[in-house]
Structure 1
Amino acid sequence: MLIAVNQEHLTSYKDFFKQITGFYPYPYQERLSNEPIEDRILHIPTGFGKTLAVVGAWLWNTYRRPEETPRRLIYCLPTRVLVEQTLETAVRAAAQANRFLPGGSQVSVFQMLGGDADQSWEVLPDGRCLIVGTQDMLLSRALNRGYGLSMFRWPVHFALLNSDVWWVADEVQLFGCGLPTTIQLAGFRRKLGCFGPAVTWWMSATLSETSWKTPDYGRPPIFRLNPDELNDLGSRWSCRKTLQVLGEEDAKEKRLAALVLKEHRAGALTLVVLNTVNRAQQVYSELKRRNKAGIPLVLLHSRFRPPDRRRAWEQVVAPIDEGGPGRIVVSTQVIEAGADLDAAVLFTDLAPRSSLVQRFGRLNRSGRLEEGKIFVAPLEKLVPYEVKDRAALLEWLTGLNNAAPADLEAEAEPVDDWLVLRKKDLLELFDTTPDLTGAQLDVSRFVRELDQSDVEVFWRSFEGSPQDISEPHPSELCPAPVSEVAAMITAQTKDRQARFFVFHPVQERWIQIEETDLRPGQRLLLESRQGGYSPEIGWSRSLATAVEPVAIEGERAAEEAETHDSDPATFRGYRQTLAAHSREVYEKMRDLLNNLANLQLAKFEKALLEAAAYHDWGKAHPVFQQTLRDSRPDPGDTLLAKAETVRRHARRGFRHELAGAVGLLESGRDFLAAYLTAAHHGKVRMNLRSLPDEERPGQPDRRYARGVFEGELLPAFSLTDALLEPLAEIRLSLDCMELGSLADGPPSWGARAWKLLEELGPFRLSFLEMLVRVADLRASAAPREVLR
């Protein structure tokens, strides 16, 4: 039971932990909380509270020494189900900790899950944030290619996930190629520099020490439980779990379903963990056909739309009436690690030793049963796994007298050789400029094995062209394997029925996609009649019945897709002068610098304040003023920055931030301030070049880029209150578009930008970009001085 405690009384971790959980910590949890804040490997057996161990340690350090503790805890997990369960634990702990954390250290919790990602943390660089997400969502963002995220926001997430962070990579035995990526990123934060502390903890009950051999990082210390701490875990550590390897015939779907029904115990949970979604769907369907006793059945895997996945998860974890029929849950790897389930009977496919140890941890987890029973189906092919010695694995299983944690070997088999992220890759990924077709560098090889990579699909009812279709609401998105979607496109193409669309940000429209154009993280629009899904079974390309689109209550919450040409931050439902908006952004930047004083940003304060004050100078350009007024501006008109309703520029492709950045350069301002001005919408960064569909000037030899023409006048601008010196009218020169260095002048934009990247490193430069953007977003969200 939680009791009211004054802040000054919380002098020990035991009291603190009791306040946020309702019970006292294990001795190892207390020891871990007082370890130095530095990289480490945590080897903690499954089922012994490692989630609360690390969340509690971060909250305790936030409470005890906030200046030394990273503001963001990034809790990275391999599966969606683990995210949902960990989120519940994090929300409860943070809510209790907030009762006595000081105002500036109050913790907010966010979920980063494919189809259900809360992005509001991106405007909280000075806030305490606990972010729980999948490796796909978090690692892709940490590599500046965020899945399911507008490319124009990639640099913001890249910045926030690589500075002032405490990463927790949990269940790393399931990360595959994502594990060396987390290790290399930790090494690059040390070598290339970032703002504030940056720490990574890697956690697993089954780890291989050889996994940490990467080119840019040495293995950190390992935290293990000592014998006294293990004995303190009691029956959880040494409970009874018998094991039987089934015959090969019994491993087939129909025979396996019959055995599951036979061994199921009334009033208890039977857990069936299978290696693939297709096999889980087949066994579930067979159980449903044979289930004459009406035992509740649940199917849970990773390929559901969020509302259906939540519904299934709630059924999985619902209390079981000991006097009732019990429950049978059929699942996949999504449930093998971290899920707090306590089954009486476990059926599992043969899998690598590390996976089996995790699955065994879902059986008799509390140690309250006299005996839990395990049945292993000895599949010949262990897809999606690669097991080098199946015979040795079976020999190990048959030699086990008991499968309790105390009887299992700690060390996992060596990992495969994966493609490793190198410095060259990271620097290339810093540049988010697409090629002329709109394509970007693919990071899937650093995030998850290609045969396990997903796209997100959603279904709508429409006829003909989908150009009026809005962006999907998160609840509509269903993960689907790239390989299966490609096969579905191929099959339907043969029948002339294939209509799969992606939104093209350069062409600003939905375009039909072929199987060869699929990339992990894409969002695909399907017509409802194309099938491929049911709320009970989830994604299956063999389902031919029409899919019912998700009903969104009230107005569809999804925003219009952002494009190279759009300016969503300008049209916010109010009118405001350029001077007023600029002053307010300048003041927001001051607030950020004060709040982030421990990050040692003083060296960059001048450039940050200049960029904040002048970031929208380009809006003084006649093209932008005409858009805001819906008429040509007069020379004496007050310059505007905001308007009520969304409009398009008369000149296609115009980017005000480029006009402002070039104006700053022509005015002799520091290049960093000019770069931050250009980059504050994520659309003009490392390179200046024209896009295929933008408007061109009438003169063929006149330079142009992003709607800005050589020689145009940018009007004078002043904040009117002497915060910074006024800017004189300037004639814009696009000499800086040239490649390399100019023979009779300064280096080109690209040369300067790459030099800046080399000097500051990708993590620090992106962090400075992010601060200007956040100051702008905060000022735009809560304007004080508006026109009536």
Structure 2
Amino acid sequence: MHLVVCLPMRSLVTQTVQRLQTYFDALKAKKPEVGVAVHQLMGGAIDDEWVGQPDKPWVLVGTQDQLLSRALNRGYSMSRFEWPIHFGLLNNDCRWLIDEVQLMGPGLWTTSQLDWMRRKRFESLKPCPTTWMSATVGQSFLGTTDRVRDALAEPSNEQIAFEGKLKTALNGDAGLKWWRAAKRPLAWWHPEAAAQPTTSGGKKRGAAKSAAATAATPNAIAASVKAKHVAGTLSLVICNTVDMARAVFGALPSANHKVLLTSRFRREDRARHEQRLIDFDAQRKAGGLPEHDPGLICVSTQVIEAGVDISAHRLFTELAPWPSMLQRLGRLNRKGDDQEAQAWVWETPKEGGNKKVERIGPYEAADIERAKKLVEAFASLSQNKAFSEAIAGLNACKQKDALQPKPSPLPRALDVHGLFSTERDVHGGFTDVSAFVRGTDPDLDVTVFWRYWTGDSPPRGKELDGPLLEPAKEGCPVSFVRVQKMIESSKAKAWLWDDEADRWERVNHWDIRPGMLVMFKHDVGGYDATQGWTGDRANVLAEVPRAGRGATLRDDAWTEVGYWSKLDVHLKDARDAAEKLSTALSLTGDTKTAVVEASGLHDLGKAHPQWQAALPDRSGIPNAPLAKSPRVVAADVVGDASVVRAAFASLRPQAHALPDETRRRGREDVVRLRWAIDDRLNEAELKSLRAVTGVRWAGHLQFHPGLRHEVASALAMWRRYQDSETKPYPALAVYLAAAHHGKARTVMRSTTGEDDVFGVRVEPNVLTVGDDQWPLDFSIAKDGAEGRWEGSEFVQTGHGWTGLVADLLGPWRPEETSDAGVVPADEPRQLGPFALAYLEALVRIADWRASAQPSASTKPSEVRDGR
């Protein structure tokens, strides 16, 4: 089983990953046989290595938007073709650990419902339990209608027993008494006395009365922070919005002892800011600061509320809901060794004066008003009492109400069942799951990135030669509302990748939705390395990559692996990998058979003559059907091609030259030079090649055979399944083979508008693999069933693909007993979305492993060397 740690804030992820990595490194040093990998998953830092290792132990730490969107089969910041594998793996063989639940909003209810579905409605193939952790939130989120009906609304006896043992252990721990004695005095911030230092203990006349919110300007806050900051210590300013944080940060003196921390940074910039804060606090605790060190002022948003193990001497915070206030106060005098610490709170200036509003900043007005009453009561108690005593002195009922999670939209069984399909909806888009991830919060993110190109619109076709998008490196999370406003106000153009049309399409501001990957031209601006996303056209990144392609329905990227390999060899390798993987995961019976057989036959369709004819070269293995081909790089040249050949030879001396091609490029006749290579050229190598005299274009050529080979595999497998009295494999294997690239799953359809199924035409209708003939059966590709009318009766003569999927998936209601009659009752069927997607993932992983470690292959460098 794997551990999935779901957290509401990016800053939590960063520190949790660092601490876990330190722990497991120390464990491995003592016990070399124990190896547990730690991975992270958050906007701007996406690590997918865990995906290929379901049979190895790992811990995945991620933000709720990234994790929950994947658990709902709508993964943010990723290709839809990869959704099912993440969906299957995260809903099987994992223990979900949900921490800091008071900050999760609707995501909390979603975790509760997913836990119920995995246990009761769509049972996972392998157990996938959930544990929630919070010191401040009640358990009402466990009492959804579905959980109450299935007796899951109350904590289990094991949970109750564990809680009792934990309380006993904590009460008896002498080391925690010092922490419980920590003082965290809180006072209302007063503009008229902003620059006056407080007396010891923080007492001021009228401290329990809130200041006039309209006077809480960024300049006034910054002046107060500057006046009260103590050299050699950390002052923390927590704002409710990015705009307020940036304004306060900008109003502070232009010195090198301040840092801004928000969620609106690219990964490398955000990491640099976080590390500066963590390093300063560690150095301060160790007594390693220089004698006259000015200290550090950190201006932050909610990203610092929880889990960041720093201890501030001064804390300034905007009034927030009570759970957030508790978390923010937890960053002050964190371990009780700074009893002179002090905190101040100010109110958000209300827009519209005394007019009643529903929201104040990012929060509901009712939550802010409730928090205000508790802050006023806590402020007077906190002056002379320890934090724990002051909290205990508050009215228990008022606290309980403030800490209960609000009822929010939550996914029901019908929703998750419907989300299994990854096809576009009738509007050409996909189901928006943001209401289940973070609700209607205007701070829901899209990921934006910047690329370079000449002209108004991004290039198309072969002109689109830049590197593939790396969201983990170059993406910046931004509120989708902010992106909408920027596009509308500045007339900036935004672009989304169309994976079916294989091009960038312009998107209007009103079409921007959470989770999208949005491309801007570099001169649109909007980003600064110190401030993060600004939306200001004057802030232009100095250097960005050229515009490149995204994943498409037509591409076959896993064919281009740097070597030639025979089809029969790859199929055997995949079968062996699936056998080992299934055994390691304790799969048995027909389920195991389906995974192994699907893996062993998944690429049958590559024997199709059209697919074989599309291969760029066969020099490595000339006289056999191939499954894999090297990567191909090309350069379009005018003039002396020998200069370009010499330049490329210095880059890749072991590349294998392919025959030249003549072609027309614009108004020029060019010679296309091509080479087969072991490994892709990096951006620096491509840049140097493009700079050679005479080169009009240079880049990697993508393999586009014009058909989905996995569909041909499924059509051939279905024919053999239908024709055999003793079934060679379960019907499930046919589906798993078809779905192993995530591009043909719940429907079979034409992609050319002609008589084809995902590009596979009726003729030729037989695949030849060695001495074996595999006829294709197109009847299964029908939507529904195939048959004929005999008088007033319809006689079914063939099953449709939708019927096969419906039988394998099963109904969303347990009481529904009808089925399509495609899958026999004695075979795996009605598996539910979680189990079916998990099996999809295993077949795909077996293919990956076979591709990564072929038992026999030939590289271009070996052909060149004559071996």
Identify the TM-score tier after normalising by the shorter chain. 0.7 to 0.9
Change beyond 3 A, Cα 1:606–1:747: same
Show the counterpart of 2:489: 491
Change beyond 3 A, Cα 1:335–1:676: same
Show the counterpart of 1:340: 309
Measured against aligned partners, the alpha-carbon deviations of 1:261-286 in whole angstroms (never above 9, x if no partner) come to: 11111211111111101000001111
Change beyond 3 A, Cα 1:582–1:391: closer
Displacement of 1:101 after TM fit?
5.2
Say whether the 8 Å CA contact 1:171–1:204 is kept in structure 2.
Answer: yes
Show the counterpart of 1:415: 405
Quick one: which of 699, 709, 731 aligns to 2:761? 709
Measured against aligned partners, the alpha-carbon deviations of 1:330-387 in whole angstroms (never above 9, x if no partner) come to: 0010001111010111110111110000000000001111232010102254311114
Quick one: which of 416, 419, 442 aligns to 1:429? 419
Moved more, 199-208 or 420-429: 199-208
Tell me the distance in 1 between the aligned counterparts of 2:574 and 2:256. 60
Answer yes or no: is 1:163 the counterpart of 2:92.
yes
Quick one: which of 743, 754, 773 aligns to 1:683? 743
Q: Which amino acid aligns with 2:738?
A: A
Change beyond 3 A, Cα 1:569–1:228: closer
Change beyond 3 A, Cα 1:416–1:322: farther
Answer yes or no: is 1:360 the counterpart of 2:405.
no
Displacement of 1:116 after TM fit?
1.7
Change beyond 3 A, Cα 1:534–1:629: closer
Show the counterpart of 2:534: 540
Partner SS, residue 132 of structure 1: strand
Displacement of 1:648 after TM fit?
6.2
Moved more, 620-629 or 142-151: 620-629
Q: Which amino acid aligns with 1:123?
A: G
Tell me the distance in 1 between the aligned counterparts of 2:129 and 2:783. 41
Answer yes or no: is 1:750 the counterpart of 2:736.
no
Quick one: which of 208, 212, 222 aligns to 1:257? 222
Show the counterpart of 2:821: none
Tell me the distance in 2 between the aligned counterparts of 1:648 and 1:81. 38
Displacement of 1:228 after TM fit?
5.6
Show the counterpart of 1:282: 247
Show the counterpart of 2:673: none
Tell me the distance in 1 between the aligned counterparts of 2:776 and 2:41. 45
Unaligned runs of 5+ in 1: 1-69, 697-702, 719-725
Say whether the 8 Å CA contact 2:779–2:798 is kept in structure 1.
Answer: no
Tell me the distance in 1 between the aligned counterparts of 2:766 and 2:253. 71
Displacement of 1:605 after TM fit?
1.8
Moved more, 229-238 or 677-686: 229-238
Show the counterpart of 1:645: 631
Report the number of matched residues: 684
Tell me the distance in 2 between the aligned counterparts of 1:461 and 1:141. 30
Tell me the distance in 1 between the aligned counterparts of 2:786 and 2:59. 45
Tell me the distance in 2 between the aligned counterparts of 1:651 and 1:159. 29
Change beyond 3 A, Cα 1:114–1:601: farther
Displacement of 1:390 after TM fit?
4.5
Tell me the distance in 2 between the aligned counterparts of 1:619 and 1:550. 37
Tell me the distance in 2 between the aligned counterparts of 1:288 and 1:183. 46
Task: Summarize the alignment of residues 621-632 of structure 1 with structure 2, pairs less than 5 Å apart.
Answer: 621-628=608-615
Show the counterpart of 2:517: 523
Answer yes or no: is 1:472 the counterpart of 2:469.
yes
Task: Summarize the alignment of residues 719-734 of structure 1 with structure 2, pairs less than 5 Å apart.
Answer: 727-734=772-779
Tell me the distance in 2 between the aligned counterparts of 1:335 and 1:446. 23
Displacement of 1:761 after TM fit?
0.9
Tell me the distance in 1 between the aligned counterparts of 2:107 and 2:785. 36
Show the counterpart of 1:184: 113
Answer yes or no: is 1:226 the counterpart of 2:172.
no
Displacement of 1:560 after TM fit?
4.8
Say whether the 8 Å CA contact 1:107–1:128 is kept in structure 2.
Answer: yes
Task: Summarize the alignment of residues 178-577 of structure 1 with structure 2, pairs less than 5 Å apart.
Answer: 178-191=107-120, 192-217=122-147, 218-219=152-153, 220=155, 221=159, 223=163, 225-226=166-167, 229-230=170-171, 232=173, 233-246=176-189, 247-248=211-212, 251-288=216-253, 294=255, 296-318=257-279, 319-320=283-284, 321=289, 323=291, 324-381=293-350, 382-388=360-366, 390-400=368-378, 401-402=381-382, 404-408=387-391, 411=400, 412-435=402-425, 438-450=428-440, 451-464=442-455, 465-467=457-459, 468=464, 469-473=466-470, 474-493=472-491, 498-542=492-536, 544-549=538-543, 560-577=549-566
Answer yes or no: is 1:601 the counterpart of 2:588.
yes
Partner SS, residue 366 of structure 1: coil
Change beyond 3 A, Cα 1:637–1:303: same
Say whether the 8 Å CA contact 1:345–1:363 is kept in structure 2.
Answer: yes
Displacement of 1:193 after TM fit?
1.2
Say whether the 8 Å CA contact 2:96–2:131 is kept in structure 1.
Answer: yes
Displacement of 1:98 after TM fit?
2.5
Partner SS, residue 408 of structure 1: helix
Displacement of 1:406 after TM fit?
4.3
Q: Which amino acid aligns with 1:427?
A: H
Tell me the distance in 2 between the aligned counterparts of 1:235 and 1:295. 34
Answer yes or no: is 1:673 the counterpart of 2:733.
yes
Tell me the distance in 2 between the aligned counterparts of 1:591 and 1:741. 39
Quick one: which of 784, 794, 809 aligns to 1:739? 784
RMSD: 2.4
Displacement of 1:543 after TM fit?
5.2
Change beyond 3 A, Cα 1:560–1:487: closer
Say whether the 8 Å CA contact 2:321–2:367 is kept in structure 1.
Answer: no
Partner SS, residue 459 of structure 1: strand
Measured against aligned partners, the alpha-carbon deviations of 1:552-582 in whole angstroms (never above 9, x if no partner) come to: xxxx9x9952210000111111111111000
Measured against aligned partners, the alpha-carbon deviations of 1:423-454 in whole angstroms (never above 9, x if no partner) come to: 11101111112247652222111111331211
Change beyond 3 A, Cα 1:263–1:630: same
Change beyond 3 A, Cα 1:605–1:231: closer
Say whether the 8 Å CA contact 2:560–2:703 is kept in structure 1.
Answer: no
Quick one: which of 24, 43, 51 aligns to 1:94? 24
Change beyond 3 A, Cα 1:651–1:378: closer
Q: Which amino acid aligns with 1:341?
A: I
Partner SS, residue 715 of structure 1: strand
Tell me the distance in 2 between the aligned counterparts of 1:256 and 1:538. 21
Q: Which amino acid aligns with 1:489?
A: I
Tell me the distance in 2 between the aligned counterparts of 1:255 and 1:629. 67
Show the counterpart of 1:785: 856
Show the counterpart of 2:691: none
Tell me the distance in 2 between the aligned counterparts of 1:174 and 1:449. 12
Show the counterpart of 1:700: none
Tell me the distance in 1 between the aligned counterparts of 2:229 and 2:107. 37
Partner SS, residue 526 of structure 1: strand
Say whether the 8 Å CA contact 1:357–1:408 is kept in structure 2.
Answer: no
Q: Which amino acid aligns with 1:617?
A: L
Show the counterpart of 1:63: none
Measured against aligned partners, the alpha-carbon deviations of 1:122-177 in whole angstroms (never above 9, x if no partner) come to: 11010111111111111111111111111111111111101000111111111111
Measured against aligned partners, the alpha-carbon deviations of 1:102-128 in whole angstroms (never above 9, x if no partner) come to: 74x521111112122111111101011
Tell me the distance in 1 between the aligned counterparts of 2:712 and 2:776. 10
Change beyond 3 A, Cα 1:126–1:391: closer
Tell me the distance in 2 between the aligned counterparts of 1:389 and 1:639. 66
Moved more, 449-458 or 373-382: 373-382
Say whether the 8 Å CA contact 2:320–2:363 is kept in structure 1.
Answer: yes
Answer yes or no: is 1:773 the counterpart of 2:844.
yes
Tell me the distance in 1 between the aligned counterparts of 2:578 and 2:229. 62
Displacement of 1:712 after TM fit?
2.9
Q: Which amino acid aligns with 1:535?
A: A
Measured against aligned partners, the alpha-carbon deviations of 1:735-780 in whole angstroms (never above 9, x if no partner) come to: 5313246433242111111110111111111111111110000010
Displacement of 1:637 after TM fit?
5.0
Q: Which amino acid aligns with 1:785?
A: A
